[in-house]
Each structure stands twice: as structure tokens, then as C-alpha cells.
Structure 1
Amino acid sequence: MKKRIEALDALRGFSLLGILIANMLYFQYGDMTLNTIEPTTWWDNAAFYFTKIFVEASSYPIFGFLFGYGVILFVRALENRDLKTRGPLWRRAIGLIILGSLHIAFVWDGDILLTYGAGLIIIMLFIKRKVKTLLIWASVLAVLMAPILIFKTDVLALAGLEETAAVLADGTYWEVMQQRIGVVEGMPFIFVLISLPIAFCFIALLSFFTIGPFVLLGMAAAKTDFFTHIGTKTKLLKRLALLVPIGLVCKSFLYSDHFAGKLIYGAGTYLLALGYIALFTLIYLAKHETKLAQAFVSMGRLSLTNYLMQSLIFTTVFYGYGFGLFGKLGVAIGLLLAVAVYVLQLYISNLYTRHFSIGPVEWLLRKFVYLGNGRS
């Protein structure tokens, strides 16, 4: 049981690296499209296409898979202690929504916590469903969301982001905050109070549906105890790991002008995510006793705290109210900086978990979820 939990934590820690690398383009440029970034050197071009093909759109599904898996484990833990599940699940959703909203308002608008909090409300409808039902719905949702994945890049390219970039590069904290939450001068406060939360939740739900297939897949995997005795499943993992090169080939159609090419790219984002899950799990099983493997475990256990710290660090580095390096470092240096900060987080997380079993933000959310019922 311990290894199964540690394997999940390590995979969660690994997914944070991909999420950070993918987010770097948004931290640095306020956008993720080639039209906006326009790398001029071979190393920036290489870093840009590495991010787009190897990382972007294939890291969040991994986190979604783990989120779905974790929901089932969470429900089982409650049931094993003869506790009701409805209240804690709702409080977990509300807690994530509150954290996500605060993250968007005060730190960064590339938040995923609101997405998962809003999505958890929908997930509750599937918790008691059979594995077959979950897999069918995952497949249906993947097909329904295909247009969003296929045309995502085109939509982003059409968005007018010059004003946004200018505010992020030179604006004060208050100006950036207003831009982030969509407040314009003269807007009635009552309108902000009512409309913005609704808009945020709508966007969060739409975002959740794009990773929904992996959330449902994670729930199905948990119901089959996939990570229980995971060491006996190496043959299956090796087969799934073959999806890595297949996914990379598919994602190389990133800027194809043909519908078929866009469809292949969309499929590649999911295939690569599945391949990464299998490949990293295989590597972890082979190296789970090493210090590096344990550092990934520690990183995963503090995933919520580490995720929020990444936002605090990089908005301070790039935005005008911080060091003001927005759009100035280049994609390659930004990539190296992301890896450096991640390695530092690995080291600090490993030190932290020698003394504490849970991160500060995780502790706060857990207190809210259990409301004094404690946790074993």
C-alpha cells in the first residue's frame, strides 16, 4: 500500500514539472502562441517547440487522472471510517473553488484549482458508477471535447492580447489585478460581485471538460485498484509507454492547416499523457529507493503548496510590479529558469517532509474539508 501511494505522489510531483514548463510561456508572454512570442534564435525556437510538442496540453491530463484517482481514494477513506461522504466532498469542492478564486484574483489567472473545484461538483454524479460506465463517459467526453483541442491554438492566435501584455509588463499590482479579473473603469461593483464569479465558474467548467476524460479514467483506474501491486503490471506499463513516441509524432502536427492534421494533434495530446503516466511509473518502480525518486514523492505530497508557490515566484519575476522581466528573457532561458526553480522545490520539499507530513496549504484545505473530524 505504501508503494502504491508513493507512486501516485511521485507521479503528481512529476506532473508539476510539466505544468510549470507549459505555464512559462504564459508567465513570460501572457500568451502561448507563436504569433505572439516570435522566437528569433534557434535555441528559443527549440525551447518553444519542445514546450509545445513535449509538454503543453499533455501535463494537465496527468494531473486530471491523479485527481480522479484521488477522489475515489478519498471517498473510500471516508467510508472506511464510517463517515458521510457528501459533506466532505462538497467542502472539498468549495475549498478548491475558494483557493482558486483567491489565486486568480490576487496572484495569477492561469489557475487550475477553480477548475478542479467546479469539476468536482460534476464528478460527484459519477462516484458510484461502474468502471465500464466511467470508461464509456470518458470516451464520449473525449469525442465531444475534440473540437476545443483541435482549434485551441487558432482561437488563442485570434485573441487580442497587446493591451494585456502591456499591463503585465509595466502595470502596478492593482492594475494587473484589475486586468486579471476583468474589471474595467466605471464598472458597477454589484456587477463585479455577481457576474465575475459566474463567468469564472463557467470558464472553469469548460476547462474541466477538456481534461474530464482523464479524470474519469483516473476514477476507473482507482476502482480497479490499478496502482495496487503496480509492480506486477510492468508488461502493461511498457506497452502504454510506447504511446510516448506515437504521441510526439501526432503532436508534431501542431501547426497543420488541415483538419486531419489538427485531429491527429488533438489525439496526440491524450496519447502522450497516457504514455508519460506509464513511462514515469516504470522509471519510478525501477528507482523508487533513490533520493531523487523520494524527492518526487515529497514534491507530490506538497503539490498544492508547490503549485501556488510557482505562481508567486514567476509572477514576481516577470510582472511589472516585481522584477519586470516580462517578455525579456526568451523562451530558452525561461525554460532553464523553470527547471532550476523546480529542482529547488524538489530539494526543499524533500527537506520539509522529513519534519512535516503535509504542506501548509494542504493542511488548511484538509481542516476545512474535515471540520474537526480529524484524519488518520
Structure 2
Amino acid sequence: MVAPLASPTSDRINSLDVLRGFAVLGILVMNIQIFAMPSATYLNPTVWGTLSGVDGAVWYLSHVFTDQKKMALFSMLFGAGIILFTERATAQGKSAVGYHYRRNFWLLLFGAAHAYLLWYGDVLFLYAICAFALYPLRNWRPRRLIIVGIVFLSISSIVYLLTGFALPSLPEEVLVEAIQPSWNPPAAQLAEEIAAYQGGWSQQMSNRVPVTLEMHTFVYLIWGFWRAAGMMLLGMALYKLGILSARADNRVYWRFLAVGVLLGLPIIMIGIQWNFANAWGPVSMFLGSQFNYWASILVSMAYMASLILLLKHNRMNWLTQRLAAVGRMAFSNYIMHTLICGFIFYGHGLGQFGQIDRSGQIVIVFGIWILQLLVSPMWLRHFRFGPLEWLWRSLTYWRFQPMAR
């Protein structure tokens, strides 16, 4: 038997909980599109639904303020968590290696079950892989972590840029067979996907399993691993510098905020104009995506800075306290998104896949936000952990953890 490394409440860093809660709520704005519509729509919004009126405004605002930003923030926090876990183990004279790898082994299994059985958009599996790879780098100095993080982020960007510039010289059959199915699928492919998710669970698996396999291999290789791992390395550096834990000077946060607003947001808006000017053709998949790929990092830093400034100035406590509760239950709340959206959109529930437009989707998002902002603090008044946090922690330490307060 092994004892827990730290108290679940006394050693918590409030800023990390608040940021985590904000991120896990925010990612639903984009994730609901994968629950509700054909998968290609996430990358190419012209595939399904309308981009006019309220629906167009919802897509525009979601892309500018949410797409990749909340995942970037969540990845940074996960990287910071690797350092924090190590610090707490070292402070108690224990070796965190075994705990770390056991913890992320279980996360890998959770992620695999989530992805293959419920929803292919899962990120837990990817985070576990990154945690295995990055743990040996945890003692690097912030400067080195930042440099290598940027290198990691650049690898995916280079792959996309080279592919985008090579598109004009690619044979037509390559475009049709390799790019069109994921960027602008034919009507028959869209109909097949819609029928699968409007059907029962076993029928859904005909689409979910092959898509998940592609995500866990090709997509991770060219994009997922480099993006997530690069952001985790930046998160490690920002934690070591005291920025994520709200210990930096206020001027640091104001600079992050200014760069995100004055540079990040305009670049994203220019990218949207560029993609529409190019009619959302295949070139948008590779070259057009790079505007948001890089600028989203700046905007995620601005979000981080804004929330920490609220905490440092003791503003909007009614909101930050609830966000902290959501963040302490981030694992449970993340899976709750799947359970609720799966019931609404898939055939084992209401079967609304492909039936609810973007304006309807955002109403569902707001409803889930309100639910989790209300329920999470209520749960934590009676329990020390969220249900999945308790299970994950018990498996990590190989000992049932105390649950009730």
C-alpha cells in the first residue's frame, strides 16, 4: 500500500483550478460540433450547415475565440501538472516516477475506452502519450522548455506548410482519394456518417472505430502529438516561472493580454478572410489553418492572463470560485460532456446528429455550462473529489482514497 502524495484540498493552487475549469468548459464550444455534425465540418465549416445569419455568427465567434485556444490552455495546464506532481513527491521524499507512469497508464486506458466506445474526439489518450514522452524533460530550465516547445509546435506547422505548397503539383487522384474524404466529403460519405450516428451504439462503431484509429496514428503523427506536447512544454516553463500559479508581476499578465488581443485576434480574423477568399478549398486545410494554429497560442495566453488578473485583483469571485470547482472536477465534467451530448445527438438517445444547427448547439453548450457551474460546487461541498478523479487517484496510488468530507 502507498499513501497519497498530497491533500486534495490544502495543497491546491487556485489559479490552476480556475484556468482548468475555464478550459474544460470552453472546449465544449468546439467539441459539440463533432458530436452534432459530420467530422469534416470541424475543419471545413462549409461541409454542413449554413454560415449565414445567427449560425454564421456562432461559427465566426467560436473560431475566433475558442478553436484551439482552450485546448492549448488545457495542454499547458497538463504540462504544469507534471511538474507539480513531481514537486509534491519530492517534498515528501518519494520518487514520483512510478506514480507518474501508473497515473498516465490509467489515463491511457480511460482515453482508449472513451475514444473507441463513446467518442472519437477524446484527448485523454493523447495526453497520456505525451506524459510518457515528456516526463524525462521535467527538470529542464524554462528557457530550454520554451525553445523545445516551439520546435515541437513547428514540426506540425512545417508538415502542413510543405503539403499546402505542394498541392498544385499533386496528381488529381491524390487530391480525390487522400484529401477530399477528410476535407470535403462527397454526399454519399456524409449520408453514411449521419446514418451511423443516428443508429444504435453498434452501428455507430462502424464509423467511430476507424476514425479513432486514424486519429491515434496518422493525425497524432502529423499534428496531435506535436501540438499537445509543444503546449505542455510551454506550460511546464510557465509554471516554473511562477506565471501559471499567479506569482508573477502584474505587468507580465498585462503584456500577455495585450499581445493576445492586439496581435493574436487580428491574425485569426485575417486567416478567416483568407480562407473565404480561397473558397475553403484544400489549400485552407494546410496553409489557411496556420493563421489560427499560431495565433491561438497567443489568445490562450491572453485568457490565462485575464483570469489570473481577476484572481489577483479579487474580482468576479462568484465566477472564479465556480470555475475552480469545475476545474477540480475537470475529468468528470469532460466525460459528462460526452454522456450528455451522446444522448442528445446519437441514436442510442435522441438521435439528433446532423439535425441541430450551430445556433442550437451553442444553446446546448450554455445549458451544460450552467449545469456544471452549479453542480460542481455542490458536489465538492460533500465530497473531496469528482467521481472519476476519485477513481483515477485510487488507481494511481493503488489504494481507495477517502471520498466523503
Instruction: Give TM-score, length-normalised by structure 1.
Output: 0.87
Do structure 1's residue 29 and structure 2's residue 37 form an aligned pair? yes
C-alpha contact (below 8 Å) 1:169/1:324 kept by paired residues: yes
CA deviations 1:232-287 (Å, max 9, x no partner) are 52111011111332212111113164888654333212111111111222223334
- The answer for the alignment partner of 2:203 in structure 1 is 175
Change (3 A) 1:41 1:197: closer
* Structure 2: gaps of 5 or more residues: 1-8, 165-178
Distance between the aligned counterparts of 2:357 and 2:312, measured in 1? 36
Do structure 1's residue 9 and structure 2's residue 17 form an aligned pair? yes
- The answer for the alignment partner of 1:192 in structure 2 is none
CA deviations 1:343-375 (Å, max 9, x no partner) are 111100011111112111111111111223979
**Structure 1, 353-362 or 252-261: larger mean CA deviation:** 252-261
Counterpart amino acid of residue 181 in structure 1: V
Distance between the aligned counterparts of 1:106 and 1:63, measured in 2? 23
- The answer for the alignment partner of 2:174 in structure 1 is none
Query: Residue 16 of structure 1: CA displacement?
Result: 1.2
Query: Residue 297 of structure 1: CA displacement?
Result: 0.4
Change (3 A) 1:22 1:169: same
Do structure 1's residue 157 and structure 2's residue 183 form an aligned pair? yes
Distance between the aligned counterparts of 1:77 and 1:340, measured in 2? 37
- The answer for the alignment partner of 1:235 in structure 2 is 251
Do structure 1's residue 348 and structure 2's residue 379 form an aligned pair? no
**Structure 1, 298-307 or 359-368: larger mean CA deviation:** 359-368
- The answer for the alignment partner of 1:269 in structure 2 is 296
Identity %: 25
Counterpart amino acid of residue 182 in structure 1: P
C-alpha contact (below 8 Å) 1:67/1:215 kept by paired residues: yes
Distance between the aligned counterparts of 1:103 and 1:324, measured in 2? 19
Distance between the aligned counterparts of 1:243 and 1:204, measured in 2? 29
**Structure 1, 128-137 or 278-287: larger mean CA deviation:** 278-287
C-alpha contact (below 8 Å) 2:146/2:233 kept by paired residues: yes
- The answer for the alignment partner of 1:218 in structure 2 is 235
- The answer for the alignment partner of 2:151 in structure 1 is 140
Of residues 97, 110, 131, the one that matches 1:120 is 131
* Structure 1: gaps of 5 or more residues: 184-195
Distance between the aligned counterparts of 2:241 and 2:401, measured in 1? 27
Change (3 A) 1:308 1:199: closer
Do structure 1's residue 18 and structure 2's residue 37 form an aligned pair? no
Do structure 1's residue 92 and structure 2's residue 103 form an aligned pair? yes
Change (3 A) 1:164 1:284: farther
CA deviations 1:281-312 (Å, max 9, x no partner) are 22233345722211000000000000000011
CA deviations 1:311-363 (Å, max 9, x no partner) are 11001101122111112221012112101111111100011111112111111
RMSD: 2.8
C-alpha contact (below 8 Å) 1:287/1:293 kept by paired residues: no
